[in-house]
Each structure stands twice: as structure tokens, then as C-alpha cells.
């Protein structure tokens, strides 16, 4: 809370309400990366080893962009970027499941999912979990970038 006295008037402002909280613009700008990575996996361009290294590079780039924009709530912004990426990435894989299985030899017998659920639904269900992992990675990289 900030209390100012100007021209014999008392002005009280809540400083935390004036600051920018979650940077939804940045989340919107970076969210197509999830679609891009999902498309690369469906087309068979990004193999699992390549995909991990691409995710790391993208997480570091996102952390740097969060730092440059001086986002006040950088924790939630980083988390929501990762969550969006995971959901969109798995959504593309679930929609184009046949192409994904055909182009990726890592799953020769299909994707193992519970017996009561189809593989497409299983991939959709895993999207938020992948997103949480990516969000934590972006969060860690953002913390490191902010320290140095």
C-alpha cells in the first residue's frame, strides 16, 4: 500500500493492483510453440531425443523472454506457458494419432493405454501432466535467469 500526500490530499493506492500480474499476451504469443512441437512429432521430424533438446531450448528461450518483459507474476506466467504447450502438443498428437503412430517407430505396437480407454483419449488426458512438467522446467529456467 502506498500513501501519498499531494496538495493537502491523502492518496492511498494499492501498489500490487497497479502492477502487471500474469502476462497473458506473452502466453498467447508463445502458445503456438505447443502446436508446432505437436506437428513436428506427428510428422516424425522430431524424434524423442531431438524433442527433448528442442523443449529445453524453447524453455530457456521462454525464460529469457519472461525475464526481459519483467513480468511481476513470473511464476504463474511460466507455469501457464508450459501448461498451454503440453495441452496443445498432446491435442495435435491425439487428433492425428494414426499419422503419429505411422511416422514414429518408437511405438511399433501402438500406445499403451489403460484397457478401458482409447489411445487418443489417453494422450489427451496426459496433456496437462506434460504441461505441468514443462511449466516446472520453464519455472526453473526463469528462476536461474532471474538470479544471474
Tens of pLDDT along 126-147?
Answer: 999 999 999 999 999 999 999 8
CA distances from 72 to 56, 69, 107 (A): 23, 9, 42
How large a percentage of the chain has pLDDT more than 70?
A: 81
pLDDT in tens, 88-97: 999 999 999 8
Q: What is the arithmetic mean of pLDDT over 112-123? A: 78
In the block, which residue shows the cell 496426459?
126
- Give the other-Cβ count within 10 Å of 50's Cβ: 12
| pLDDT of 11 higher than 90 | no
Least confident of 3-12, 76-85, 116-125, 133-142: 3-12
CA distances from 131 to 1, 2, 10, 55 (A): 35, 38, 46, 11
| pLDDT of 120 higher than 90 | no
Q: What is the pTM of this model?
A: 0.80
Helix H or strand E encompassing 119: helix 119-147
| pLDDT of 84 higher than 70 | yes
Residues 41, 52: contact at Cβ < 8 Å?
no
- Give the other-Cβ count within 10 Å of 81's Cβ: 31
In the block, which residue shows the cell 521462454?
62
Cell numbers at residue 59, please? Answer: 524453455
Contacts of 51 (CB under 8 A, 6+ apart): 37, 40, 41
Amino acid at each position: 500500500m502506498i500513501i501519498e500526500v499531494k496538495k493537502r490530499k491523502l492518496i492511498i493506492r494499492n501498489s500490487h493492483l497497479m502492477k502487471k500480474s500474469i502476462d497473458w499476451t506473452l502466453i498467447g504469443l508463445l502458445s503456438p510453440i505447443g502446436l508446432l512441437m505437436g506437428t513436428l512429432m506427428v510428422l516424425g521430424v522430431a524424434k524423442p531425443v531431438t524433442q527433448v533438446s528442442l523443449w529445453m531450448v524453447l524453455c530457456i528461450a521462454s525464460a529469457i523472454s519472461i525475464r526481459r518483459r519483467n513480468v511481476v507474476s513470473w511464476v504463474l506466467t511460466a507455469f501457464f506457458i508450459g501448461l498451454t504447450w503440453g495441452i496443445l502438443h498432446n491435442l495435435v498428437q491425439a487428433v492425428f494419432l494414426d499419422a503419429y503412430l505411422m511416422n514414429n517407430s518408437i511405438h511399433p505396437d501402438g500406445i499403451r493405454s489403460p484397457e478401458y480407454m482409447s489411445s487418443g483419449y489417453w494422450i489427451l488426458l496426459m496433456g496437462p501432466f506434460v504441461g505441468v512438467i514443462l511449466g516446472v522446467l520453464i519455472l526453473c529456467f526463469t528462476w536461474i535467469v532471474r538470479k544471474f
